[in-house]
Amino acid sequence: MTEPDLVQLAQLGDPKAIANILNRSLQSKGITVKAVIKDSCLQLMVESTQIPPQKAVVNFVRKTLIELSVDDIKTVRISGQHIGMASPSWRDTFKLPEKSVLLADDNSEIGIRQMVKEGNVNAINVLLVNALANSDLTVLTELKNGCLQIILQSLHEPEEQATVEIIRQTVMGWQAENIDSIQIYGQQIHEAFPVWGQHIELMKRDRTDNHLEKTDKLTLERIKNLPIENRFQFSSIVPYKDAFSANLYKDNKVKLMLFFSLFPWTLRLLARETGLESIAWLLGIYYSAIWGIVLYHLIKPLYFAWGETIKCILFTAFVGIPLLLFVQSIPPFNLLYSALNINSLGVASQLVGFVFGVGILEESCKALPVYLFMVREGKINNPLTSAFYGAMSGLGFAIAEGANYSVMYAFGLQSGRLGLGDYVLVNTIRMVSLPLFHATWAGIVGYFLGLAAINPSRRGMIIAIGIAISAVLHGCYNTFSNNLLGFAILAFSILLFVAYLRRSKEMVDRMQQAELNYQSWKSK
What average pLDDT score do residues 234-246 get? Answer: 76
Question: What SS3 state is found at 193?
Answer: coil
Provide Rg for the chain, Cα atoms: 29
Q: Quick count: other Cβ atoms within 10 Å of Cβ 453?
A: 26
Predicted confidence at residue 209, as pLDDT, reads 46
CB of 358 closer than 8 Å to CB of 481: no
154 alpha-carbon distance from chain centroid: 15
Higher-scoring residue by pLDDT: 151, 133 = 151
Question: Residue 229 pLDDT > 60, yes or no?
Answer: no
- Cα end-to-end span (Å), the chain: 39
Measured CA to CA in angstroms, residue 76 lies from 82, 83, 115 at distances of 20, 21, 23
Q: Is the CB of residue 146 less than 8 Å from the CB of residue 178?
A: yes
Amino acid at 271: A
- Provide the pLDDT confidence category of residue 344 given band limits of 50, 70 and 90: low
For every residue of 283-299, DSSP letters joined together read HHHHHHHHHHHHHHHHH
Phi, psi of 101 (to 5 degrees): -75, -25
- Report whether 381 contacts 454 (CB < 8 A): yes
Residue 447 has pLDDT above 80, yes or no: yes
Q: Is the peptide bond before 194 cis (omega within 30 degrees of 0)?
A: no
Task: Sheet containing 90-95: give its strands across.
Answer: 31-38, 41-48, 75-82, 90-95
* CA-angle at 152, arms to 146 and 158, nearest 5°: 135
Per-state percent for the chain, helix, strand, coil, to nearest 5? 70, 10, 20
Highest mean pLDDT among 77-91, 208-222, 285-299: 285-299
Q: What pLDDT score was predicted for residue 104?
A: 42
Q: Tell me what pLDDT residue 411 has.
A: 92
**Where would I find the H helices in 328-433?**
333-338, 346-353, 360-370, 383-415, 420-428
What lies within 8 Å, CB to CB, of 393 at 6+ separation is 312, 313, 315, 316, 320, 366, 367, 368, 369, 370, 442, 446
Give the confidence band of 356 by pLDDT, cuts at 50, 70, 90: very high
Taking only the tens place, the pLDDT of each residue in 194-209 is: 788 888 888 654 444 4
Residues in the chain: 524
Query: Tell me: the pLDDT tens digits for 366-411?
Result: 999 999 998 888 888 789 999 999 999 999 999 999 999 999 999 9
What value does the mean pLDDT take over residues 418-444? Answer: 94
Q: CB under 8 Å to 477, separation ≥6 — which residues?
A: 437, 486, 489, 490, 493
pLDDT category of residue 224 using cuts at 50, 70 and 90: low
C-alpha distances in Å from residue 457, one per residue of 364, 461, 514, 521:
21, 9, 9, 12
Q: Which residues of 54-81 are buried (b: 16+ CB within 10 A; e: fewer)?
A: bbbbbbbbbbbbbebbbeebeebebbbb
C-beta of residue 112 within 8 angstroms of C-beta of residue 127: yes
Burial of residue 82 (CB within 10 Å: 0-12, 13-18, 19+) is buried
In degrees rounded to 5, what are phi and psi of residue 145? 55, 40
* pLDDT tens-digit map of 479-514: 999 899 999 999 999 999 999 999 998 898 888 888
b/e code 172-193 from CB counts within 10 Å (16+ = b): bebebeebebbbbbbbbebbeb
Predicted pLDDT at 215 = 46
- Contacts of 263-268 with CB under 8 Å at 24 or more apart are none
CA 84, 305, 277 angle in degrees (round to 5)?
135
Phi, psi of 196 (to 5 degrees): -155, 165
pLDDT over 70 (residue 419)? yes
Kindly write down the DSSP assignment for every residue of 94-148, as one continuous string: EEPPPHHHH--SHHHHHHHHHHHHTT-HHHHHHHHHHHTTTS--EEEEEEETTEE
What digits encode the pLDDT tens for the residues 7-54?
A: 778 878 888 889 988 988 888 778 899 999 888 889 999 998 888 888
Contact criterion met (CB below 8 Å) for 370 and 312: yes
CA distance linking residue 77 with residue 494, whole number of Å: 43
Tell me: pLDDT of 170 over 90.
Answer: no
CA pair distance 436, 418, nearest whole angstrom: 25
Identity at 476, one-letter amino acid code: C
Q: Note the pLDDT of residue 225.
A: 55
CA distance 465 to 470: 9
Q: How far apart are CA 341 and CA 273, in angstroms?
A: 37
52: nearest Cα among 196, 174, 190, 205: 190
Name the strand (E) or helix (H) holding 241.
Answer: helix 240-243
- Which amino acid, one-letter code, is at 14? D
Q: Which helix (H) or strand (E) holds 38?
A: strand 31-38
| 445 and 365 Cβ atoms separated by less than 8 Å | no
